[in-house]
């Protein structure tokens, strides 16, 4: 770390003692965040406890990882050293609360929640954390290119216990799945641009004795990835819902 000149160091220490936030000091001084945090810890102690979690391949972990596989993204912002993990949602506030409670309790650390209304009037939500340990957590289970996660994501290992698989099927269905009940037909689909992930989920369903088929929807526009649609056999959708218990089934009163 570069040595600060005495005046800069004096002002930085004064700002910290006057309870100015790290981000405010960053905006004011332009110093590296790691430098500010170094002095912050010296004066006030460590600001955040590292998240706590155990790798047990539990059902809860499966749901957490499935949610990230469906609607998560990551970005390492080098200028301030932050490792951002974000979960993206549409206008589904009830489900956002469910996921926040799930993530907060598992990592023993609160995730930040944002609500955005676009120029087109659409409501979107985000949950975000900037912790490196959480950033690295998902690579215990998944392989993906963080710059193109949606079509490169797949599970590292298929030798997993049943409960983790059920949780993963739930988390991924609630983010990238569709449950339709019209014309007395109950239908369930998964949508993904990752062919590997579609095939892995089909295998999980087969292990649960649930039939499904995959087909590919070609999208002709440049840089648009093909979509792989995993359709659960209609006669077995109820079996699927009883096993996986997705949040989406609440709209059916289940």
Quick: pLDDT tens for 152-205.
999 999 999 999 999 999 999 999 999 999 888 999 999 999 999 999 999 999
The closest alpha carbon to 134, from 193, 200, 64, 228, belongs to 64
Contacts 24+ apart (CB under 8 A), 154-157: 154/194, 154/196, 154/197, 154/200, 155/197, 155/200
C-alpha span between 12 and 6 (Å, rounded):
10
pLDDT of residue 159: 92
Q: Look up residue 14 and give its two tokens.
A: 């004064």
Q: How many CB atoms lie within 10 A of CB 39?
A: 19
pTM for this prediction? 0.80
pLDDT in tens, the chain (254 residues): 567 888 888 888 888 777 777 777 877 888 877 787 777 777 766 555 567 788 899 999 999 999 999 999 999 887 777 899 999 999 999 999 999 999 999 998 889 999 999 989 999 999 999 889 999 999 999 999 988 899 999 999 999 999 999 999 999 999 999 999 988 899 999 999 999 999 999 999 999 999 999 999 988 777 788 999 999 999 999 999 999 999 999 888 77
pLDDT of residue 81: 77
Mean pLDDT, all residues of the chain: 90
C-alpha span between 170 and 36 (Å, rounded):
41
pLDDT of residue 147: 83
C-alpha span between 198 and 208 (Å, rounded):
16
Strand partners, 84: 75
The closest alpha carbon to 182, from 231, 252, 90, 94, belongs to 252
Where does 4-92 show beta strands of DSSP type E? 72-77, 82-89
The closest alpha carbon to 50, from 136, 134, 152, 147, belongs to 134
pLDDT of residue 233: 97
C-alpha span between 243 and 232 (Å, rounded):
13
């Amino acid at each position: 770390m570069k040595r600060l000149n005495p005046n800069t160091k004096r002002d930085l220490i004064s700002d910290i003692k006057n309870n100015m936030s790290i981000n405010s000091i960053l905006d004011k001084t332009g110093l590296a965040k790691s430098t500010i945090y170094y002095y912050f810890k010296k004066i006030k102690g460590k600001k955040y406890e590292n998240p706590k979690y155990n790798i047990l391949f539990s059902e809860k972990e499966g749901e957490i990882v499935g949610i990230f596989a469906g609607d998560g993204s990551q970005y390492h912002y080098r200028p301030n050293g932050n490792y951002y993990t974000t979960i993206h949602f549409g206008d589904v506030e009830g489900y956002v609360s469910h996921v926040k409670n799930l993530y907060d309790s598992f990592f023993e650390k609160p995730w930040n929640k944002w609500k955005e209304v676009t120029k087109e009037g659409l409501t979107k939500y985000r949950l975000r954390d900037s912790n490196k340990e959480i950033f690295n957590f998902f690579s215990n289970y998944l392989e993906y290119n963080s710059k193109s996660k949606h079509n490169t994501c797949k599970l590292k290992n298929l030798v997993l216990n049943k409960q983790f698989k059920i949780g993963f099927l739930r988390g991924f269905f609630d983010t990238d799945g569709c449950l339709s009940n019209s014309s007395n037909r109950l239908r369930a689909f998964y949508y993904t641009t990752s062919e590997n992930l579609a095939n892995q989920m089909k295998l999980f369903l087969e292990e649960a004795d649930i039939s499904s088929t995959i087909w590919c929807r070609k999208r002709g526009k440049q840089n648009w990835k093909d979509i792989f649609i995993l359709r659960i056999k209609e006669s077995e959708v109820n079996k699927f819902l009883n096993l996986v218990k997705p949040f989406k089934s609440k709209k059916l009163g289940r």
